[in-house]
Chain A
Amino acid sequence: MRNHFTKLFALIAFLLFVSAPVWAHHGTALSYDTAHVWSTWATIVEFNYINPHPSMTFERTDRNGNVERWVAEGSNNPSQLARAGWTKSRSVEALKPGTKVKLYVATARAGGFVGVVMKIENEKGENLVGERTEITAVDLDGVPGGYQPGRDGGK
């Protein structure tokens, strides 16, 4: 089962890799388990529009009612975002504290509540603060810890 699982996600990771149109300013992908992208609903606590990648803090509530506070970086660079129409003022407004969003996350390899956010959607399903729209993920909303590499497998 584990081998089957690993093969599936290796292929998904490859598909994401070949479809990625841009070059990150640093090697983010190697720090996070990008082979296991998952999605969750979350609430923005803080968002910073900074180089080389935006950072954010968000909270999500698991099915047991426990609130998890995550720290994360975004996968796009501000100049890429701005050229895609996501200027600083528009991005900060779209992700102001308290905003409910659906996040597509790759958890840190070491696990814990650290990750890279690869896609953001609002409650209408519209893309926010990002130019990538082709990323697919598995919904783990409410699952404690989301996907945790050490617990659920992965790298």
Chain B
Amino acid sequence: MTNNSGVARFSRRAVGVLALTAVPAFLLVNSAVAQNAARMARNSSGDNAGPSDKDTRPYDKHDFNGLWARNPLPFNQPACPECRDNGPVSYGWFGDIPPLTPAGQKKFDMNHPSKGWEAGSKEALAHPNVAEGYRKAVPPGLGNDPEERCEPLGAMRLVVFSGGNAAMHIVQNKEVLIQRFEWTWDNREIWTDGRGAPKVEDYLPRYNGYSIGHWEGDTLVVKTVGLDDHQWVDAFGYPISDQAVFEERYERPTPNRLRVNLTLTDPLTYTRPWHSSTKVWALIPKEAMSLANWSGIVEDRCIPADQGAARELEERAIGKTK
């Protein structure tokens, strides 16, 4: 068989595949669009958590201890449709992205993500009104996403990604709440002991910043300052300055759901505060999150040596190196 006949066979079989998949795929896509619209409608009302959790047992709305995931299915737990992000491309900050300042735009233009729709692709060209960050992806071998180099993700990106595949563990007492993140095996502390924010003129910026929290009714309000400005808001190249203030408002609306609304205020980078879409996690029983007879999140580190090998392979894949 010649190469051309191989391609022709490839094409003929593709027709068969399409015949079998086109109709259900069409229905699936339209269903997904409808579900997205419904989720967005719920988001805009600020009440998108809880509808899939029918548990009526009493619980403590101020107790966030436990293992949380935004996709409970791998743990054989009931589905959580509202846990999925409603953005155009997988997990991210989303919400109403504010216009960038000139300084912010300059940083944004220097960031080359590798997630989202590829720059110039049909998907990107078909969505000219979708925010630029979601349609400017380049292959990892040409990009500069910190994640691709095993650099720290930073607090905001840890929060918006946690649970996508990787779970989150919360350990909480009256003084402090610790979030432990499976992907990159990172953690952050939210102090609830009444302390104030650090003196901004004295602090050393940190990837996860300095976080303090207090309760407003059943909402834990967390304020974080002192963020290192190497980090991106999410996977799509949106930058921050070291003057950024990150606010999270956590609630546990039902026994098995945790939700948060995020606000980024960074006048050096954005012309107004950026409110995220609502993020929702499902509570995973300890015994359901178990590997090798060991319950809990897994140590899913990004190893630079291994990542370097993968990067080398991907640079070969696009012809950058031989």
Structural contact, B140 and A28, CB atoms closer than 8 A? yes
State whether B317 touches A53 (Cβ < 8 A).
no
Do B138 and A152 touch across chains, with their CB atoms under 8 A apart?
no
A27 touches B302 (CB 8 A): no
Once the chains are docked, how many angstroms separate the CA of A88 from the CA of B14?
35
Q: A26-B114, A79-B165 are in contact. Are A140 and B10 (CB under 8 A)?
A: yes
Q: Check: B122 CB closer than 8 A to any chain A CB.
A: yes
Give chain B residues whose Cβ lies under 8 Å from the Cβ of A79.
165-166, 182-183, 298, 300
- Do residues A23 and B90 form an inter-chain contact, with CB atoms below 8 A? yes
Of the candidates B139, B292, B307, which one forms a contact with A30 in the assembled complex, judged by CB atoms under 8 Å apart?
A: B139
Partner of A152 from B3, B113, B137 at Cβ < 8 Å: B3
Assess whether A15 is interfacial by the CB under 8 Å rule: yes
List of B residues within 8 angstroms of A96 by Cβ: none
Count chain B residues whose beta carbon lies closer than 8 angstroms to a beta carbon of A. 61
Interface size on A, residues (CB 8 A): 58
A26-B148, A27-B148 are known contacts; what are 16 more A-B pairs with Cβ within 8 Å? A10-B122, A11-B18, A15-B21, A19-B28, A22-B165, A23-B90, A26-B140, A27-B114, A30-B137, A30-B140, A31-B140, A50-B303, A79-B183, A83-B75, A114-B317, A138-B14
Q: Are B14 and A82 closer than 8 Å at their CB atoms?
A: no
List A residues at the B interface (Cβ < 8 Å): 4-5, 8-12, 15, 18-19, 21-23, 25-28, 30-32, 36, 38, 50-53, 55, 63, 71-73, 77-80, 82-84, 87, 108-112, 114-116, 136, 138-140, 142-144, 147, 151-153
One digit per residue, 1 when the CB lies within 8 angstroms of any chain A CB and 0 when it does not, for chain B 291-322 equals 11000001011110011011001101111100
A12 touches B140 (CB 8 A): no
Q: Which of A87, A110, A147 is within 8 Å of B292, CB to CB?
A: A87
Top-9 shortest CB links A-B: A27-B114, A110-B319, A108-B317, A138-B10, A31-B317, A30-B139, A31-B314, A143-B6, A50-B306
